[in-house]
Amino acid sequence: MNTTHTVPLSKIIKEFSLETLNMPLTDEEILISSTDINRPGLQMAGYFKFFDKNRIQIIGRTENGFLEHFTEEKARDRLKELFAQKPPAVVICHDLQVSDIYRQMAAKYDVPLLRTKVTTSEFEAALIAFLNLNLAPRITQHGVLVEVYGEGILLLGESGVGKSETAIELVKRGHRLIADDAVEIKRVSSKSLVGSAPDNIRHFIELRGIGIINASRIFGAGAVKLTEKIDLVIKMEPWDVNKAYDRMGLENKTTEILGLEIPSLTIPVKPGRNLAIIIEVAAMNNRQKKLGYNAAEDLLKKLGMAEN
């Protein structure tokens, strides 16, 4: 089931230090649901077909300069048409001096009017990135997320298989923990997923027989990280003697998460296997594959067994 996510306008105001010129409601009550924004040049020319009123409207020097060519009465009519659409917010860039018409129309139609000192292009790029992150499709996955040699590794498996213990060993070896038990995964673009921990359990790990520990307090701030891109999924499962596990690595298996196919491996677990070292090697090997080198294919070539 698709869920529409929102972000309060107050969070945007705080993030970009926006000046408030008009606020009809409290900024916590105004919710932004669209990742798209709009520069209303065509709307100021009177064209409103295909206009999406759910987008934040950005006004820069071009739009403001266009209005200045009109008489005051015509400029009022143009702004009246724009503000009558009741967009979630109108942001003035370049710290431009706004005429009283802007304030009057914003007050009349209960539209938040904001201002920033940042240039239009810079603000647009930053706002789009912010909205893509905060409004991204997301799920919560039971697992552990760690960063190993710069690769985001999502460890999956049944409870008790050893995910948390492996994460602790990786942290002791200099890698970083992002999330334990529950991983919030967001699809931030058409090609990438980013994982993080829920705020209330961030940096905590459950170790059976010991209890809850705080990785940041025990191992230091350098042992944890807030977010990380997911580059590889590793499924941990108890060793099954009747199952044939991949011994060459020629198959490029993937796991589908939020519509994206992420490279994945299945690692069997049994006493005596050093899972931390295995995952370190898996992370480095995954990076080599992204750089275009596949050790299994190279070996087959050297043995004269590669397919032409």
Active site residues: 142, 163, 181, 247
Chain centroid, CA 35 distance in Å: 12
Helix (H, G, I), strand (E, B) or coil at 202: coil
Compute the distance between CA of residue 287 and CA of residue 294 in angstroms, rounded to an integer. 10
Q: From the CB of residue 133, how many other CB atoms can be counted at a distance below 10 Å?
A: 15
List of residues 6+ apart from 282 with CB closer than 8 A: 153, 232, 234, 265, 267
* Phi, psi torsion values for 228, nearest 5 degrees: -160, 140
Contact between 279 and 148 under an 8 Å Cβ cutoff? The reply is yes
Compute the distance between CA of residue 26 and CA of residue 166 in angstroms, rounded to an integer. 46
Q: From the CB of residue 76, how many other CB atoms can be counted at a distance below 10 Å?
A: 17
Compute the distance between CA of residue 38 and CA of residue 16 in angstroms, rounded to an integer. 17
List of residues 6+ apart from 113 with CB closer than 8 A: 20, 21, 22, 23, 89, 90, 92, 98, 102, 103, 106
